[in-house]
Structure formats: structure tokens, C-alpha cells
Structure 1
Amino acid sequence: MFVSYRWLQEYVDLTGISATELADKITKSGIEVEGVDVLNKGVSGVVIGHVVVREQHPNADKLSRCQVDIGEDEPVQIICGAPNVAQGQKVAVAKVGAVLPGNFKIKRAKLRGEESHGMICSLQELGIEGKLVAKEYQEGIFVFPSDAEVGSDALAALNLHDEVLELGLTPNRSDCLSMLGVAYEVAAIFGKDVKHPEVAVEETTEKAADYVSVKVEASEDNPLYVARIVKNVKIGPSPLWMQTRLMASGIRPHNNVVDITNYILLEYGQPLHAFDYDRFGSKEVLVRRAKAGEKIITLDDQERALTEAHLVITNGTEPVALAGVMGGANSEVQEDTTTVLLESAFFKGTTVRQASKDHGLRSEASARFEKGIDPNRTRLAADRAAQLMAQYASGEVVSEVVEVDTLTVEPAVVAVSLERINSVLGTNLSMDEVKDIFTRLQFTYKEEEGQLIVTVPTRRGDITIEEDLIEEVARLYGYDHLPTTLPVSAATPGKLTEYQAKRRKVRRYLEGAGLYQAITYSLTSQDKATQFALEEADTVRLAMPMSEDRSILRQSLIPHLLEVVKHNNARQIDSVAVYETGSIFLSNGAGQLPMEKERLAGAVTGLWHMHGWQGEKKVVDFYVIKGVLEGLFAQLSLEDRIVYQPVKKEGMHPGRTAEVLLDGMSVGYVGQLHPVTQKDYDLRETYVFELDLQAVLNTEVAHLSYTAIPRFPSITRDIALVVDQSVLAGEIARTIKEVGGDLLTDVTVFDLYEGERMEEGKKSVAYSLRYLNPERTLTDEEVTTVHEQVLTTVEEKFGATLRS
């Protein structure tokens, strides 16, 4: 709902309250104001001008040379390209120095050799959306009424000095789908009165019953139908103030009669429809359900097939309107209309909703009927519209109305106690404070035995139970004034479990390392269900699978991650790095629910990083993905408890796959896919890993401790050991560290050599050993003693010799 700030001031005194402050107060009372739109959008220097002379531009067929009186000493010359500019018009003129939307500044210019001192503007150029501009002005400039004052502010005349509040209404607050409804809300917030429009209809001596009769067959769908006749109307533009209010509310002006019905819809929230009486086709209005196969051409020139679920207005034989949604083209008000049949009715919301949904028609009228209107405004809205038609369309209102009324509407009566209000809200309100709130809401009440018996106006159809009244008290008292308390049962605030916190750390680390999270199906096919699984177990099949490809619960995350890689490769994304944390399922036997375990898996292919300007590329290999895991284990403080050892696993490369051991127990693997597997998945060289995430995260670790930066220097010794090719470099490193004791702080492999001058079946592995005593400077003798013990041990255990 768009609410004009200046229009709202006609119903509520907002002196000293800015639009921004008003928006803040409405939001705090429970209706969100999604924004405040300043209509002038920074425009300045635009006045109303009078085109004194209009001539053809001497050097351009599509330009006009105009002499325009802008209220200054002399008319100014303006070159205009609008096709509808003409002598005698009152137009919007942006003077030299004016600013238009987008900070567009008007300067003196020459157009095809002719001086132009300003710009004659269209409404779009002043910041009004094209869809809101009347059809006759959509392709050219806007023309003011002839009585517009030359030299006066054009923005004020167009109501562009206004501000518009956009209310984000929830479905229950249909009462605020009208200016009067918003006025009641604002008046309650600020403790002010609501000023209603004065309705006084001057009627002729003729009777409306002589012109039309009304019959309603579907009384449940339409319990109230009111018809009025206004004759001798003159179709023309509506007053400028009305047009601008409609545009500010998001409705395009048409003509005075149609604009008045839309204006009443916005003012009262009561949809109206104006029929051309002479085109109506009869003197009878019959409201009924449509017949199967019946058709109607609506105002948007679309032919629509009707069903028995749709309510229609007919002239006794054929439909002339889809009730509550849209009128028919056969009875549309046109330029030659002289007599108007005005409809004001109460239609059942669900029936209107059905028709709106079936035909894909969402109108301002249907939105209000669906959410609920105030039936006590139906007659008043018809009278107000008739009054405006007499005033602005020169119409004569025929006396009395023709109506069918089977509607029984009683205001809701709801009881609530002060004790209950304070108990729910946690407040200590007095009875007088609660009474004041209901008075501001204009709810009548009486006090009986400590309870307030509240009579709710029909405009507030959302209030039916005790809790609704308590909500009204809370929002008018102020949500920000309610005391803050924890629930009685809550001893401590919630937090992540240790496992959840660790899992979040895992995800953040992997994303920081460059992997993207994937989420894949838990269901797979029979042939992929056990691929790459860490544990052997029977598969679990669905009783009613969607398809064979989604019939088995997975036992590994990797097959689906490989599908993700394949999908990206097929779309020319050659470098892919993804991971997933998810569940796998192991059978517990027939008729038993499966065991669910959480796994962490990843798949990487292509380039790991590339610096084009340096000509540097790093292709993913085994050590890249192993390094990612080493960093992960370091984040979890497990790096000293992890061991990698070669392993042969189905689907994995036999020489580039390692088993991951945590405290000697297998928790996963890392390596390259077997070339045959890569071919089966249509992949290039791809590396994967899968870990038992529960085993990793549930492992207890020591509390994090810090050590001071060493004050004393370290001593580094490098050794190159010749060993059999079957000996693992990691085993040698672990042995060196064990023998080195406390003085040996770091062991790093920095070279591997297998080639010429190396005995067949042998290899050279070079290590850098760093010795340090944090309490004093080491001597060469101390280091030599420990270093010789290291060399002796590796010689005895691995048959290693120092490379000469």
C-alpha cells in the first residue's frame, strides 16, 4: 500500500511530524514501512509555462520553435521535440539552471542552429514512471489545465513535493489498504482524531428504481449489492489533484468517472465499478454464478472462459463483469458515456480469489475483496463517489439506491482481563493505560468484574480473540517498552556443541583453502552405492524408489562429487575444487533403520593456482591435496597424530593413494583416481579424499598451549641417507624425531634422488634437522652426541648409509 503523506494530512493532523518520523512510528507499531519515496527526486527549477507561439523549426521536421511565457519579463525561446506541443498550452518548463532526475542540469543550447533557453518536460522527465502516465501524455509533454498559474511551481501543481510511504502489509491488516484505514492507525499511534470526508449528495427527483433493478441469485457470494445512477455526466480528465494522488498510489489516471472509482477505492478501501448504463444492455442487474463454458471479454480485451466457480455480474442474459476482479469491455465507460450505473458491493473473498487465480488477474479490487473489506462502508463509498461525479463530471445523481441486502454483520465482542494482558506481555500496565489504548484505537468497551468487554469495529476484521486484543495493547504500548526476560526454562543461552563448532571450523578452513561446498543426493544407483566406501556393509534400498538411479542409500560421498566435477568440466570449467560434509548409510540388517555416519570428502582437478603475468602455473597433484588435509589436521590440533601410508584401494591409483591413520586407526584416504575410473567418469587427472568426520572430530585433543619465541639460536644439520626404494621416507623421519628427543625440534625432507650414480634399487633421501634448547645456547658437542645417535639408529633400523 502506497500512502501519500500530504493526502494523509487531510484525515489526521500531522503538524510537526515528518514523513520519516511517521514511518518510524508506524514500523514500531507493527506495520513495516518498507521505504519513504521523495517524489521530486532532487528536481528543482521547474515552473508552469504558457506556450505563446509555436512554429515549425526552420531546420528540422520533428522540432518546434516555441515562445514560452514563464512568468518573467519576456517570453523565452525553447526548442521542443514533443509531437503534441501546441500554442496556448500550459506546460512544465525546466528553466536554465534547473535540475532534473539523475542530476541532469539544464543549460542554454543550440538545436539545429536555434537558441533554446530551457526544456518543456514530459512527466517521465520529471521522474514519474511511464506506466503511471495517462495514455494521451505517454508519447509527449504533459499539459496542465487552462487555469494553471503561469510561473508557479510545477512540482507543487503535480504533487511532486509529496513523500510516499510504502507499507508492507501482512494479510491480516487489510484495514490499512485504504487511506482512512491508515488514518485510524496513525491517529491511534499519536493519540489524535480522524477527520472523515464530508458526504452530502444532492439528488434529483427521479428514482433509481425506475432505471435499474437488482437481483442476486448467489446470495452467499454476494450478500450486499448497491446500485446508484448518475446521469448527464461529461467524460473528461479528472482534476489534477486527483490524478496526482492516483499516480502517487501507483494507479494510472483514465478519465474523471473511472478515476473517481479508483480514488474511492484508495480512500475507503471499497472497490467500485462504473458501467455505461446505455451499453449495459438492459435495466436488470443479475448476480449469479457463471454457467460452464460461458465467456466474457474483460477490460484488457482478453476473452475468458468461465466456470461455475466464478461469480459474474450480468444484464440478465450475458456477463458484463467478473465480480470483484474486472469489468467487461461491453459496458466500459467511454468518451460518449452520459449515464453511469455505479456498483458498490460486498463479495465473498474466497470466491473472488478463485476467479482471480483461475484467470491470472490480480487487480487492486480483487486484492481488497480477498483480504476483506468493511461492509459498513459499502453504501457510504457509493454516496461519496456519486457526490464526486456530480462535482467533477457534471453529473446528476438520481435519488435513492437499488440494493439487495442479506448481509448480517455484527461487530466482534471480545473480553480480556488486565491480569491476562500483563501476564502475557510481562508488563505492569494499569487499567487506565489499557483503556487509553482502546480509546485511541476507537474501540468501545465496558468494564465488568475486572474484565474489559471490547466491541471491535467492523473495519478491524482481524480481531476475533483475546490474543488479538493483547497484541493491540502491546504494539500501541510499544514493543521497545516491553521488558526483556529469558524463558523460565532457559538457564543458559544456547550455543554450538563442540562437535558442531569443529565441523564449522572444517568447512571454513576448506573454503578458505579454495574448495567450494557441494550438497548432493543421499540416493544413488546400485553400482555406485559402495564405490570408494571406507567400510564394507550391505546396502540399503528404498521400498518405493523414484528411479533406479536414486534407489540406494550411498556409502560414500565421492561418486556424487565426481558427478559435480564432470558437470562443471562439461561446461568448460576445467579447474574444479569441491568438498562435502554429509551422511552415508550402512545397513543394520533387514527391517532395521540404517546406521548413519558423517563423512568429509573432496575432489580436485585442473590448476590449483595460476599467475598469468608471471607465467606460473601449478597443476593439482597428490601433494597439493595431501597438503590441504595436513592444514586441516593442523587446524584441529591433530597434525602430530596423523600418519600417511601407501594403500591399494579399488578405483584409486595404486602408487598415488595413501591411507590416513589417526593414532594408528584408519580414518580415511587421499589420492588420485585410477586412470580407468577417470575414463569411466570422463574426467582428467582428479584427486580425491574421504575422511570419517565423526572419528576425526570426536577425538580428544589437548588444550591449546603457547610457547615463547626462542631466545637462543638453533643448529641445523643436513643429512642425505641412501636406503632401499621400499623404505618409506616418513618412517625414517618419525624414527629420527623419536631418537632426537627434546633437542630435535624439526625434521624436514627436502630432497629425493633416484638416478645416475645411484645403485639400482636404492634412493637418496635428504633431511634437514634443527636442534634447539629453549633455555640456553647449544654446544657442538651436545648436538654431535644426539646427531650420532640418530645416524646409528637409522643405519641399524633401515640399513641407511650416509651419501658421500
Structure 2
Amino acid sequence: MKVTYNWLKEFVDFDQSPEQLADLLTMLGLEVEGMENYGAGMDQVVVAVVEEKRQHPNADKLSVCRVNNGREIVDVVCGAQNFKAGDIVALAQIGAVLPGDFKIKRSKIRGEESCGMLCSEKELGLAEESAGIMILPPTLVPGTPVFESLGLKDTFFEIGLTPNRADCLSVIGVAREIAAKIGTSVKCNRIAVPEHGPSINSSITVSVEDSELCPRYAARAVHGCRIAPSPEWLVNRLAAVGVRSINNVVDVTNLVMMELGQPLHAFDCDQLVDSRIVVRRALEGEIFTTLDSQQRVLVASDLVICDAGGPVALAGIMGGENSEINDSTTSILLESAWFKPAAIRTTSKRLGLHTESSHRFERGTDIDGVIRALDRAAALVAELAGGTVAQGFIDVYPVKSVPPAISFRPERANALLGIKLSSKVMIDILRGLECSVTEMTDGILMVTPPSYRIDIEREIDLVEEIARLNGYDNIPASMPIARVISDRPSLHQRLESMLRNILVAHGMNEIINFSFTTPDAADKLLMSDVDPRRSVIKLANPLVEEQSVMRTSLIPGLLEAVAKNISHRSLDLRLFEMRRVYINRQNEEMPHEPIYLVGAFTGAREREGWGNSRDSIDFYDAKGVVENLLEELHISNVKWVVDTPETFYHPGKSCSIMVGKERLGTIGEIHPTVQKNFGLEKPVFCFELYFEKLVVLHRLKAAIVVPSRFPDSTRDLAMLASDCLSAEKILETVKGIKAQEIEHAEIFDVYKGAGIPTGFKSIAIRIRYRSYDRTLTDDEINIIHSRITENLVSKLKVSIR
């Protein structure tokens, strides 16, 4: 937002210098990002009178002038021809420095001495182009600085506003802040509109079909106008805040917008079909040409201003070519309205059309300031463009907006800000902001903010106002108070850290994926239609379609990471992830969010190098990592039940990890179809563990088993068994004897080949016997060993070799 020092002075009386005012505004939260002193250092450019003008004796296109600067008469050589003797001009005296660092010196031009320069608007930085020297009003006093005499000496402020401070997108808004800070009031003179024409209702009709997007629409009519260039003061004022002059009527609407913060629009009444205004939503696919000569395709959410024939303006953004003010315009309709910010913002963003008007409507204007801005514009148009203002105005305002009262606790404000202000001081601050304050019996204040402060909605907003107006620098410095507590990690945190360390020690790398995934993740994993993981939680505003739902499994993200690494020639992978998934629960607001631990293995077992084999990772590599992990957690009695626990595993190459009847997780080779779905050409082995079950079953400390001091004895047993007989079943049968003397049993050899019938395999087990109270004799061991042999033969139908 751009404002000027002199313009602010018209609305509020203050004594601060421009530098002091910049500091004041910055401390109020209106950061002054830049300052420019207009006319500073130009005091050597003074008002002067041309006493005599004669032809240069040695140049046809030059003149020699005798110029009175108020103190003396000096000779000046000039090449312009647009002036005569007696004119008041701008004289840059010797020593003056003009824009562009051009210094005026005494010189001789074609033999004639020149003691200065007669200046044009361009040379003084007042215009981009000029046809000759600047002719000043005859009332100016010779010898006074030109910028001071014309009222152009000013300071410009560039203020950086936060989006919530829409009220300060105007001169009066900034003036209100200054007035509230220094304890004075804003000068708001009564606006007198010279209404001499017929009633506006006799020439214009207005109807609002969508009061939700346009709660208030007001209009005035001015007939018999004359469109012409704006007076110099108006052109200069708009230029000071970066607005280009167009004509007297359009310039008035821009001036009022910058002055009061209310965007206006002027329509050519003669171009409005049936002299009618209709505020409605656009028709889907409706075509409209805006003032920039661009055709816009509208949608049903856009708000448009129409006449009886169709759209004549995009509400709050830009007018149309079909109702533009031009040199032949004689009757105008002035529009002042309040539009719903979200609607203007949506249309502006969709069309890529951002204007000064939309910038204000998007952030919210003052709904109670609609008529004041309309009256101000009508009065100025009547003054600058002539014409007659129609009697009365149209104001479609069916439901009056009333700002709600906010409960405010002074003691709460003091506690939050660390200050000690009395209720009276706070009341004075709030009333200085033009808030209505009612003090209740219990000390609570009921505060109603003014209509232009749409950013004040809650008690904390009022606390911020107290801090701003009292002064941030008046908040005392204090050391923070904090309790020193022992931040001991929880059991879950300790176990998570432990699992990560175990897997990293096994050469695995942790990955972290987004919690969002693609909607077809379940399809890629071949999940059944009744799988609860198909019921996903959809994001309300996803960034991309590939991340539009919350994940219900970590496996898709893991496989995508494997595929991406392989595409970058990282072929030997051991990856894991431990994060939450989000399972939708019927009739419940929040999802179930369990933690899962998953891992993936692919590529070679060892890195390439001298002496290393390049054998591929297989199922048993993955199984070995999980076995070691469970051993580190001291989880015993683990069984590996061969089945197909998940649809994304290869049938016959996967199993469930069981502890008793509790399934701790799954492990297996990924199904070939699933591999293809994720763009994987090589086998991938994965495991999935349920973290909460690990928490329940783990023991941080292993049970201490006192070793026997007596010697052990081992027996080997070879048998011929069916291919379908699992090792787990054999070991269970051995342990089923329940003899205390059996210390350990393991399979140490499996053979298939010559001498072994088809469909069978040779399995050898080694059994270690030991007692805790004596040395076992051969006879005692033989008895137990015989029982084991009989059990294997009778229950498993094996043949002892």
C-alpha cells in the first residue's frame, strides 16, 4: 500500500516528521518498507518570471531570456518555444541537481552566457514526456521553490501489509491507526452531494439475485457529464500512489478507492440495456469481454453485474468493454457494493486477473462504508465532470450486517502480554480504535469492533490490539520460566529405537514415505474386495491424484521405493520402514492408526568385490534378519507356518510368523503379478511385523538360564520323510516327548538325490541330552532316544535310516 505524508495530514493531525511517522507505523505492525522524499534537494528550482525573450544571435532555434528569480534578473538560454514574456516558469538555478544527477552550472551556449535552465515536467521528474517547459500558475510568488509552491513536496511511504489488515488498504485506514496511537481522531467531514436531477428510480433499476455473494449493492446516477482529462491535482495525487490517470470520472473512482478503501465502478448509462442492473451468478460457459479486451469464459461460481442483455462487469474485478466510460459518455452509473471475499478470490485466481479492486474485495471491505464512498464519488464527479446528480440512491441491503460483540478479559490480556494495564487504559485503547466497549459487573468487557475491522473476531485479536497500541517496546523483558524435567522415553519409543538399531546393524536402510498413497494401491496388491484395507480415507484437498488417500499398508510405498532405486541403478537393496497406517473404522470419526514394521530385500547377498560371491538374496536371508530381530527382543516359541497369509505374496513362498496362536507378522516373496504392477523385474522378499504385538510379547531382558555343570551327550538320527513334511513338525515331535534331559534339537542335514525315492528327502537331526543333577548314562539316553524314534515313526510315518 502506498500513501503520502500530505494525504495523511488531510485525515489526521499529527506533528511527527516523516521519519518519526515511519517508525510509528512500523511499530504498529504496518511495516514501512520504503520512503521517498519527493522534491527533496530541489529547493534550488524556483518560481521565476520571464521578463524578456529574444532570439539568440547565433542560433535559429534558441532564445535568450531575462528571467526574474525574485532576487535578481539572470540570463538563460532556452530551446523551447512554448512560452512568452510574462509567463511564470520553473528556473533551475546554478547549483541545482535535477533527477538523473544532472547538475546545473554557469555556461556559454553559442557565445551567450546562461545562468540556469528553464525546466519541463520531464526534467523535474513530474512526467514521462513533455512538449516544452513547464508553465506555472500566475498566482505563484517568484523566488519560492517550485515543489513547495505547487504542493508537490511530499514523502511517500510504501507499507507492507499482512493479508488480514484489509482496512489499511486506504489512506483513511492508515490515518485511523495514527489517530489511535497518538490519541486523536480522524477527520471525517460530512459529504454534501448536490442532488438536482430527477429521482434515480425513474431512470435505473437494480436487482440482486444472489444476496449470498452480494449482500449489499448501492448505486447513484449522474447525467450530463463531460468526460475530460483530470485536473492536475488529481493526476498528481493518483500518480503519487502509482495509479495512472485515465479521465476525470474513472480517476474519481480510483481516488475514492485509494482514499476510503472502497472500490467503485462507473458504467456508461446509455450502454446499459433497459437501464437495468442485475447482480447474478454467471451461466456455465458464458463469454464476456473485459476492459483489457480479453474474452473470458465464465463458470457458474462467478458473480457478474449484468444489464438486460448480459454481463457488463465481473463483480469486484473488472468492467466490460460494452459499458466502458469513453469520450462520448454523458450519463454514468456509479456502483458501490460489498462482495463476498471468497467468491472474488476464486474468480480472480481462476482467471489470473488481479486488480486493485479485486485485491481489496478478496481481503474484505467495509460494508458500512459503501454509501460514504458512493457519496464522495458522486460529489467529485459533479465537481470535476459537471452534470446533475440524480436525487437519492439505490441501496439493496436486505440483511444488515452487525459485528458480534466479543467477550474480553483484561486480566487475561495482562497475563498473556506480561504487562500490567488497568481496565480503564485498555478501554481507552479499544475506544481509540473505534470499538464499542461495555463494561460488565464482573469486570469482563463486551467489545464490538467497527465494521471495517473484519480481522477482529476473537478475544486474542483484541489482546493483539492492546499490545500494538500500548507499544511492543513497552512489554517488559523477562527470562522464560521453564520446568526442568527428566525426559525419559516411553516404552514404545525405546522399542522403536531398538528395532531401528537392530535392522541397521543387519545392513538395512530406513526409508520414510508420505502418509498419502494412490487410490489403486489395494488393486496393485491384489487385495480382496472385502479386505478392510480397501476402505481408505480420502484427502479433502490432495496435491496430486497419486497421493489422494491415506495409506492402509506400508507395502506399496516400500515397493515403490525399491522400484525407484532400481531405476537409478541401485540394485542391491535392504530397506525398511516403521510408520503408522490409517485404517478407516465404520461409524467412528477417527481411524485406527497402528504402527507396522516392513522390510524388503532384493539383489545380491553381498556387495561386489574380490572374494565375494554374487549369489542372489533369497527367502532365508529375509527370514534370518527377522529371526535375529525376534531373538534380540527375547521373543521365544516362534513358529513359521507355511501358508499364503497375504495376497501380495507368492503362493508356496511365504509364511505366517506365529507365537502361540498370535500372528506376529508375515514374510515371503512378492507375488509375480504384484511385482509387475510396481515395475519390478527381479524377485523381492518382504516381511511385515505388527509393532503393537512386538511390544506385548517382547522382553527387554532375557531370562537367565543357569547352565548345567554336567557333561552333555549327542545322538544323530537320520530318516526318510515325505517332501511335504516340514522341519517344524519334526522338531515339535521331538520336543513333544517332554523329557527334561532333551536340551536341544536341530536339523543339520537335508538331502535329495541319488538313492532317495522321488517325493522323499533324507533328513538328519542332532539331539543334545544333559541333566542338571547328574551325568547321564548311555542306557538312560538310549531309552529317551528310543522314545523319540518311536514317536517320529508312529506320528510322522518316517523311515529311520
Q: Deviations over 1:733-769 (max 9, x none)?
A: xxxxxxxxxxxxxxxxxxxxxxxxxxxxxxxxxxxxx
Cα distance change on mapping 1:288 and 1:33 into 2, 3 Å: same
Q: Does 1:11 align with 2:14?
A: no
SS in 1 for 2:188: coil
Q: Is the CA contact 1:41–1:127 (under 8 Å) kept in the aligned structure 2?
A: no
Q: Does 1:278 align with 2:270?
A: yes
Matched residue type, 1:189 = K
Q: Please state how far the C-alpha of 1:69 moved relative to its aligned partner.
A: 5.4
SS in 1 for 2:560: coil
What residue number does 1:138 align with?
129
What residue number does 2:584 align with?
none
What residue number does 2:44 align with?
45
Q: Please state how far the C-alpha of 1:462 moved relative to its aligned partner.
A: 0.5
Q: Please state how far the C-alpha of 1:64 moved relative to its aligned partner.
A: 6.2
What residue number does 1:98 align with?
96
The CA distance in 2 between the partners of 1:86 and 1:214, in whole Å, is: 55
Any residues of structure 2 matched to 1:592-631 within 5 Å, and which?
A: 592=597
Any residues of structure 2 matched to 1:305-704 within 5 Å, and which?
A: 305-448=297-440, 449-489=442-482, 491=484, 542-545=558-561, 548=564, 587=575, 592=597
Q: Please state how far the C-alpha of 1:419 moved relative to its aligned partner.
A: 1.9
Cα distance change on mapping 1:120 and 1:345 into 2, 3 Å: farther
Q: Is the CA contact 1:412–1:457 (under 8 Å) kept in the aligned structure 2?
A: no
Q: Deviations over 1:18-74 (max 9, x none)?
A: 11111112211222121222122533322346779999999999x664858565565
Q: Deviations over 1:555-609 (max 9, x none)?
A: 99xxxxxxxxxxxxxxxxxxxxxxxxxxxx96469985679xxxxxxxxxxxxxx
Q: Is the CA contact 1:54–1:67 (under 8 Å) kept in the aligned structure 2?
A: yes
Cα distance change on mapping 1:365 and 1:112 into 2, 3 Å: farther
Matched residue type, 1:26 = L
The CA distance in 2 between the partners of 1:439 and 1:296, in whole Å, is: 46
Cα distance change on mapping 1:50 and 1:273 into 2, 3 Å: farther
Q: Does 1:23 align with 2:22?
A: yes
Q: Is the CA contact 2:558–2:577 (under 8 Å) kept in the aligned structure 1?
A: no
Cα distance change on mapping 1:586 and 1:456 into 2, 3 Å: same
Q: Please state how far the C-alpha of 1:456 moved relative to its aligned partner.
A: 0.9
SS in 2 for 1:544: helix
The CA distance in 1 between the partners of 2:105 and 2:294, in whole Å, is: 47
Q: Is the CA contact 1:228–1:400 (under 8 Å) kept in the aligned structure 2?
A: yes
Cα distance change on mapping 1:211 and 1:335 into 2, 3 Å: same
Q: Deviations over 1:604-647 (max 9, x none)?
A: xxxxxxxxxxxxxxxxxxxxxxxxxxxxxxxxxxxxxxxxxxx9
Q: Deviations over 1:321-358 (max 9, x none)?
A: 22111122232222333222111111111222222223
Q: Please state how far the C-alpha of 1:481 moved relative to its aligned partner.
A: 1.6
SS in 2 for 1:197: coil
Q: Please state how far the C-alpha of 1:422 moved relative to its aligned partner.
A: 1.6
Cα distance change on mapping 1:191 and 1:95 into 2, 3 Å: same
Q: TM-score, normalised by structure 2?
A: 0.58
Q: Please state how far the C-alpha of 1:178 moved relative to its aligned partner.
A: 1.1
Q: Deviations over 1:426-483 (max 9, x none)?
A: 2222112211211222212111121011111101111011111111111111112213
Cα distance change on mapping 1:190 and 1:341 into 2, 3 Å: same
Q: Percent identity?
A: 42
SS in 2 for 1:126: coil
The CA distance in 2 between the partners of 1:53 and 1:234, in whole Å, is: 39
Matched residue type, 1:268 = L
Q: Please state how far the C-alpha of 1:366 moved relative to its aligned partner.
A: 0.8
Q: Is the CA contact 1:80–1:119 (under 8 Å) kept in the aligned structure 2?
A: no
The CA distance in 1 between the partners of 2:218 and 2:66, in whole Å, is: 50
Q: Is the CA contact 2:74–2:115 (under 8 Å) kept in the aligned structure 1?
A: no
SS in 2 for 1:335: coil
The CA distance in 1 between the partners of 2:329 and 2:73, in whole Å, is: 43
Q: Deviations over 1:518-554 (max 9, x none)?
A: xxx999xxxxxxxxxxxxxxxx994225974675797
The CA distance in 2 between the partners of 1:163 and 1:225, in whole Å, is: 36
SS in 1 for 2:44: strand
Q: Is the CA contact 1:26–1:189 (under 8 Å) kept in the aligned structure 2?
A: no
What residue number does 2:105 align with?
107
SS in 1 for 2:414: helix
2:169 maps to which of 161, 172, 177: 177
Q: Is the CA contact 2:218–2:371 (under 8 Å) kept in the aligned structure 1?
A: yes
2:282 maps to which of 284, 290, 310: 290
Cα distance change on mapping 1:148 and 1:460 into 2, 3 Å: same
Matched residue type, 1:42 = G
Q: 418-427 or 365-374, which moves further after superposition?
A: 418-427
What residue number does 1:566 align with?
none
The CA distance in 2 between the partners of 1:455 and 1:40, in whole Å, is: 43
Q: Please state how far the C-alpha of 1:88 moved relative to its aligned partner.
A: 9.0
SS in 2 for 1:433: helix
Matched residue type, 1:149 = L
SS in 1 for 2:372: helix
SS in 1 for 2:390: strand
Q: Please state how far the C-alpha of 1:409 moved relative to its aligned partner.
A: 0.7
Cα distance change on mapping 1:296 and 1:427 into 2, 3 Å: same
Q: Is the CA contact 1:542–1:551 (under 8 Å) kept in the aligned structure 2?
A: no
Q: Is the CA contact 2:51–2:68 (under 8 Å) kept in the aligned structure 1?
A: no
Q: TM-score, normalised by structure 1?
A: 0.58
Q: Does 1:187 align with 2:179?
A: yes
The CA distance in 1 between the partners of 2:133 and 2:327, in whole Å, is: 20
What residue number does 1:79 align with?
78
Cα distance change on mapping 1:22 and 1:447 into 2, 3 Å: same
The CA distance in 1 between the partners of 2:577 and 2:431, in whole Å, is: 69
Please identify the structure whose Cα radius of gyration is greater. 2
| Structure 1 vs Structure 2 CA RMSD | 3.8
The CA distance in 1 between the partners of 2:300 and 2:453, in whole Å, is: 31
Q: Is the CA contact 2:87–2:138 (under 8 Å) kept in the aligned structure 1?
A: no
Q: Deviations over 1:140-162 (max 9, x none)?
A: 45756755626343212554421
The CA distance in 1 between the partners of 2:386 and 2:77, in whole Å, is: 37
SS in 2 for 1:383: helix
Q: Deviations over 1:645-676 (max 9, x none)?
A: xx9999xxxxxxxxxxxxxxxxxxxxxxxxxx
Q: Please state how far the C-alpha of 1:317 moved relative to its aligned partner.
A: 0.9
Cα distance change on mapping 1:404 and 1:436 into 2, 3 Å: closer
The CA distance in 1 between the partners of 2:53 and 2:313, in whole Å, is: 45
Matched residue type, 1:485 = S
Matched residue type, 1:204 = H
SS in 2 for 1:464: coil
What residue number does 1:577 align with?
none
The CA distance in 2 between the partners of 1:483 and 1:86, in whole Å, is: 67
